Amino acid sequence: MPYFLSVYFAIQLLIVILAVVGTLWYRRNRLAQRSNQPPRGFQLTDEIFIDPTTGIKQQVWFNPRTGDRFYQTIDS
């Protein structure tokens, strides 16, 4: 019985460690991608709007090849 409990807790600890490491890795990579500069291949559009959830003014960039949009925060 003690062997079973030690294996059980070791597996639980491994799951928690993997979850923490995975979360930290995901957040670090995701924040690195959230640059305020538009990626290569994007073209500036005339569209400027104020985000209704944050109240921040945004400039829209468009990639005609992929159809993706990039929202750049601009100063008022």
CA-CA distance, 39 to 62, in Å (whole number)? Answer: 10
Q: How many angstroms separate the CA atoms of 62 and 43, rounded?
A: 5
Tens place of pLDDT for every residue, the chain, 76 residues? 788 889 999 999 999 999 999 999 888 877 666 677 888 899 999 999 999 998 999 999 999 999 999 989 887 5
Question: Helix, strand or coil for residue 61?
Answer: strand
Whether the Cβ atoms of residue 60 and residue 47 lie closer than 8 Å to each other: yes
